[in-house]
Amino acid sequence: MEKSYDKEFKLYAVKMVIEWHWHLKNVVFGNLEYALFSVYSSFYMQWRV
């Protein structure tokens, strides 16, 4: 019984690590997109004036 519980816990831990990895990746890429967009819009405003 102890072994099967340990196995389930390991699977759960791996799943959590993968989910967190994707979450962090999305956060990083989201911030990168936002930064690029803000830089682009500031350049656009400068060129328009």
14 located within any domain: no
8 located within any domain: no
10 located within any domain: no
What integer pLDDT is reported at residue 1 of this predicted model?
Answer: 54
Cα–Cα distances (Å) from 8 to 3, 22, 34, 37, in that order, read 9, 21, 39, 43
Q: Domains in the chain: how many in total?
A: 1
Write the pLDDT tens digit of every residue in 1-49.
Answer: 567 888 888 999 999 999 988 888 888 888 998 899 999 998 888 876 6
44 is in which domain, residue-wise?
21-49
Q: How many residues does the chain have?
A: 49
What integer pLDDT is reported at residue 12 of this predicted model?
Answer: 92
37 located within any domain: yes
What integer pLDDT is reported at residue 6 of this predicted model?
Answer: 86
25 located within any domain: yes
Q: Where are the alpha helices (DSSP H) in 1-49?
A: 2-48
40 located within any domain: yes
What integer pLDDT is reported at residue 15 of this predicted model?
Answer: 93
Q: Which two tokens stand for residue 41?
A: 């819009």
